[in-house]
Structures are given as structure tokens and as C-alpha cells.
Structure 1
Amino acid sequence: MSVQAVAQNSRESILDAAQQLIARHGYDGFSMRELSQHSGVAKSTLYHYFQDKREIYLNVLERDMRLLQEKLAAMVGTSAEPTRDRLYALIAVYNDAVQERGILALNVLRSAGELDAAFSRFFRQQRDAFMQPFRTVLLDGVEQGAVRGDLDVDMAILSLIGMINGFVAQRMLVDCIGDEAVIPAREMMIEHTLALYLGGISRRS
């Protein structure tokens, strides 16, 4: 294995460990010392790859957002496919990603008011790429008459994301009290979200 490959593997291992710690303790709750113990990488070596924990946090977020954007972009489909099917695919991808990374995602939201300008700039830069797959599907739906022409597309996307995030937050809460009976199955949740969402944005007769 080349030196570059070893370095990349070490970097990814550090980010994997950091992601687990951030999910568990939040940004303020993890330290470079704890990260060193959790990753098995010497503390001095951590600083070879990253300047500080702030840079690590940004890199964890950037990696997650990049992977999510790639998954969403791969599921956009074509305008020849039904709007409902395309939205189902996007909702499923986003739901699965947030379920997997949910604690980290909600920690980000919780810390949003405390983040500095660099974090704010990061989210602004990522937002458009993240929303574009949803925007493409909804705009195609408008052209096909499946979606209202007067729809505020970006607000509709944020509303959809908020619905899914709500289910994730509920799952986290229920996981804490151990009552699995009140958590809807994945497919049921996606179908419910899609039915409720489309019922509100279908073209008016």
C-alpha cells in the first residue's frame, strides 16, 4: 500500500471515530484526547492530519454531506418517470441516511446557534447541492402538471425534510425509552410521508 493510501486510511479512521464521538457527546463534548483513545491514533498524529477538533468536525460534516448528495443525485431518475416514484426514492435515501447518522444530524441542529461563520458558510455552500435533486423532481412535476405551478419549491423541500427529521427525532426519543411498538416501519413511514406531502402539493382542480 502506498504512503498516500495509508495516510488516507488513517484520516478516514480518525473521521470515523470522531463521528461516533460527536454523535454521542456533541461538538462540545468530545476532545482530541478522547478521539486519540477512541481511534487508536496518537494525539500528536491527529494534529498531523487536522489542525484542531473544529477542523475535524467540519470534515465529518463535509464527508457526510458529500455522500448524501451523491446518493440523492443517483436517485433523481428522469422526467419520464412518475413524480411519485422519484420522490419516494429520494425520501427513502434521505430517511435511511438520517436514520443512520441521525444523532449526529440532530447534534448539528442543536449546535447551530453556537457555530461560527465558517460553519454557517459551510451550510450555505452545501444547501443548494443538497436540495437540487428534490428541486429537479418537483420542477419536472410542475411541468407535467403533477405538482402545483404556484408551489414555492424550496419551501416545499424544507417542509419535506422537516417531516423526515421529525420521524428521526421521534425514533431517537423512543429508543431512549425502549418502546419499539410506537415506531412505524420504514416503508410505512415513507409511504405516510409521501401521501401526506403529495396530498398537500397536488395540482388543484
Structure 2
Amino acid sequence: MARTVDPARHEHRRLVIVDAALTVFAAHGFDGATTATICRRAGIGSGTLFHYFPTKLSILLGILEYGTREVRESAARWDGRQDSLGVLLEIVARSADEAADPRMPGFVHATAGVMHLPEVAAALEVDAGAQRACLRPWVERGQAAGEIRTDLEPARIVAWLMLFMDGYLERVALEPGFTAAGEKNLLIATAKEFLVPR
């Protein structure tokens, strides 16, 4: 008789591995990270690791997949809200909070080192698509309500918001004096200044 799988336990184990791998990739880069180090960090054996993720690359893709899933699931958080500008600024603030994870600069470097791989490029594009899908309805609602500028098409406004958030993360990752905590309020103020009607 086949063994039944407890979905909650399975998901918890995946999350433990993903969290450990995020830490290891951040500390050692993609090339410097080893599955043995990830196993030690997660407190599991290699057989367990390879049951969930057959390769080191699949672990990195799993981390990116979780990030995309969080973007999609977060969209439900704002259901019923009427203040589009407030929602958009909360999305920007949330991206700043995620950039404050001390592992994020190292993970950005690790991911950048393998962006040329088709699987990584595809995963990053899926994530960008999820972000666009999260932002665009709020831009459109905000324009209809007069809260958001209408001199630019929604897609262009979304592209600029993503540029603010992605550029902010890049600066946090690359510039030692540019900290997530120190620059968050300016990021939000800049996004607000950009979004409000002229």
C-alpha cells in the first residue's frame, strides 16, 4: 500500500529547505553554495533534500517560485479596499520591507550570477508578470477614481512602479550605505509623488 503524504507536512518541509537555501545562497553565492551545506542548515539528509529538489538549480527556482506565490496571494489582502493610492503605496512599502531581509543582498547577487540560464530568466519573468498583475488593477481603479495620474497609460505607470521597487532592491544589494530601513520612507514618498495627479 502506498504511503499517504501529509500536504501540510510536505509544504512545511519544502519551506524549511527553501529558507535554509536562501541563507546559504546569500552567504556563498550560487556557485559557492553546496547541497551539503543546505542540508546541514535545514537539518535534513541529502535523500530528503533530493526528494523535494533534485538539483541545486531547482532549489533556487523554488525560492523564486515562493516569491511569486507570495505576490499572487498578497493580492487578496487588499480586496474590498477603495483607496487605490493607499494600496499601491502599501505594495511599494511591502517591497521595501522584503528588501530589508539581511539575506536579500546576497541572494540578489546569487540570482544575478545565473540570470543567463533560461529557467532562471523564465522564473524571473513569471514573477514580474505576477507583480504587473497585482499592480495594474489598482492603477486602473485609481485613475478611474481620480486618485492616480491619467497622463500615462496604466502599463507605463506599472512599469515605473516596478522600476522604483526593483531599483531600490538593487541599490540595497549593491550600495553598502543604501539601507532598506534608511531609504524606505523616501521610496514611498517618491512613488506617491509619481502617482498623484498633476
- TM bucket by the smaller chain? 0.7 to 0.9
Is structure 2 residue 48 aligned with structure 1 residue 45?
yes
- What is the CA–CA distance in structure 1 between the aligned matches of 2:179 and 2:121, rounded to whole Å? 33
Counterpart of 1:27 in 2: which secondary structure? helix
Report the TM-score when normalising by structure 1: 0.75
Question: Conserved in 1, the CA contact under 8 Å of 2:20 and 2:41?
Answer: yes
- What's 2:140 paired with? 139
Mapped to 2, the partners of 1:140 and 1:134 lie a distance apart of 10
Contact 1:23 1:104 in 2 (8 A): yes
With over 3 angstroms needed to count, the CA separation of the structure-2 counterparts of 1:47 and 1:194, relative to structure 1, is closer
Please tell me whether residue 90 in structure 1 is matched to residue 91 in structure 2: yes
Displacement of 1:66 after TM fit?
Answer: 1.1
Residue number in structure 2 paired with 1:197: 191
CA gap 1:10/1:184 in 2 versus in 1, 3 angstroms? closer
Query: C-alpha distance in 2, partners of 1:28/1:62?
Result: 20
Deviations 1:169-198 (A, max 9, x none): 444556x5xx6xx75856x733x3343334
Contact 1:98 1:165 (C-alpha < 8 Å) held by counterparts: no
The CA RMSD over aligned residues, in Å, is 3.0
**Deviation for aligned residue 1:119:** 2.2
Unaligned runs of 5+ in 1: none
Relative contact order (alpha carbons < 8 A, sep ≥ 6): 1 or 2 greater? 2
Q: Distance in 2 between matches of 1:166 and 1:72?
A: 22
Are 1:162 and 2:163 counterparts? yes
Q: Scaled by the length of structure 2, what TM-score is found?
A: 0.77
Cα distance, 1:6–1:70 mapped onto 2, change above 3 Å: closer
Deviates more, 1:120-129 or 1:99-108: 99-108
How many correspondences in the alignment? Answer: 193
